[in-house]
C-alpha cells in the first residue's frame, strides 16, 4: 500500500512547487526535433526533476530504476507519474535495462530517456558511461539537466544525499548544451566526453546552487584520489 500513498504525497508536493526554467523554449525545440533526447542528471537531484518532466508538454520518457526493494517503490512512483521504466542498475540488470532503453528509443524516436550519470550506487557525482552508450546507440543527443532549490531536506543516509524540495519550494532548472556521441569513437575520446559531461553537470550545479542559496556540508562530487571537488 506504500507506493500509492507516496505517489499522492509526492504529487501534492509537486503541485506546490514553482519551477524556474529559462531554457524551456530551447528544450521544447530539441524535444520536437528528429533526434531523441538522452537526459543526463545527478542522482541526488532526482526528486525535483521527476515532477518537472512528468508535467504536460515535457514529452514522454523512459527511465532506469534499480531492482532493489527501494527501486521497486521508486519504479511504482515513476510509473504512477506516467514514465516508462526499465528495471536494472549498475549492480544488477543494468546492461539488460540499457538494451531495453536503446530498443525503445530506436522504435520510438519521440521517446526521450533519462539516466543519472553517477548511476544507482555512485560514486557520488562521478559520471559513468551509461548515458554516453545510450546516446551513441540511439543517435540521440545528450542533454545535461540540473536542478537546485533553497533549504531542501537532504536525505543524509542515502549514498547520494538526495535533495527533497520542501512544500511550496521554488526550483531552478537549467539545461546544458546538447551534444552527440559519434557512432565510432575511440576509448580516449569517449573518456574525454565522460569527463566533459561530469564537469559540465558539476559546473551547472555550482552556478545553480549559488543562485538558489542551496548549501550542503559535503561536496557534490565524491572523494577521488584523495582530493575533493565541490559543486
Inside any domain, residue 197: yes
Question: Is 226 within the bounds of a domain?
Answer: no
pLDDT for position 93: 61
Residues above pLDDT 90, as percent of the chain: 78
Is 125 inside a domain boundary?
A: yes
DSSP string, 166-195: PTT-EEEEEE---EE--SS--HHHHHHHHH
Rounded to whole angstroms, how far apart are CA atoms 25 and 214?
Answer: 25
User: Is residue 79 situated within a structural domain?
Assistant: yes
pLDDT digit string, tens, across residues 52-90: 999 999 999 999 987 776 778 888 999 999 999 998 765
In a domain, 224, yes or no: no
- Structural domain of 24: 2-212
The arithmetic mean of pLDDT across residues 131-159, rounded, is 96
Give pTM, 2 decimals.
0.90
**Domain CATH code at residue 31:** 3.40.1130.10
Q: What is the 3-state secondary structure (H, E, C) of 91-112?
A: CCEHHHHHHHHHHHHHHCCCEE
145, 30 contact by CB (below 8 A) = no
Asked if residue 228 is part of any domain, the answer here is: no
Query: Span 98-108, mean pLDDT?
Result: 95
Q: Would you say residue 142 lies in a domain? A: yes
Q: Is residue 113 part of a domain?
A: yes
**Residue 226 DSSP code:** T
**How many domains is the chain built from?**
1
The three cell numbers locating residue 153: 531536506
How does residue 227 score in pLDDT terms, banded at 50, 70 and 90?
Answer: very low
Amino acid at each position: 500500500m506504500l507506493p500509492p500513498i507516496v505517489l499522492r504525497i509526492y504529487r501534492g508536493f509537486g503541485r506546490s512547487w514553482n519551477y524556474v526554467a529559462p531554457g524551456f523554449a530551447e528544450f521544447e525545440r530539441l524535444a520536437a526535433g528528429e533526434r531523441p533526447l538522452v537526459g543526463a542528471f545527478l542522482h541526488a537531484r532526482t526528486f525535483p526533476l521527476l515532477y518537472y518532466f512528468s508535467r504536460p508538454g515535457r514529452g514522454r520518457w523512459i527511465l532506469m530504476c534499480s531492482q532493489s526493494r527501494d527501486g521497486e517503490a521508486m519504479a511504482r512512483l515513476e510509473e504512477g507519474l506516467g514514465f516508462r521504466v526499465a528495471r536494472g542498475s549498475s549492480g544488477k540488470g543494468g546492461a539488460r535495462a540499457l538494451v531495453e532503453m536503446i530498443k525503445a528509443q530506436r522504435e520510438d524516436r519521440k521517446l526521450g530517456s533519462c539516466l543519472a550519470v553517477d548511476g544507482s550506487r555512485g560514486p557520488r557525482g562521478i559520471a559513468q558511461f551509461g548515458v554516453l552508450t545510450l546516446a551513441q546507440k540511439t543517435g540521440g543527443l545528450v542533454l545535461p539537466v540540473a536542478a537546485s532549490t533553497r533549504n531542501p531536506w537532504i536525505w543524509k543516509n542515502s549514498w547520494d544525499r538526495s535533495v527533497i524540495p520542501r512544500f511550496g519550494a521554488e526550483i531552478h532548472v537549467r539545461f546544458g548544451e546538447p551534444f552527440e556521441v559519434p557512432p565510432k569513437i575511440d576509448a580516449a575520446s569517449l573518456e574525454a566526453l565522460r569527463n566533459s559531461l561530469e564537469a559540465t553537470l558539476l559546473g551547472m550545479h555550482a552556478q545553480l546552487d549559488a543562485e538558489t542559496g542551496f548549501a550542503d556540508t559535503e561536496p557534490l562530487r565524491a572523494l577521488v584520489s584523495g582530493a575533493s571537488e565541490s559543486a
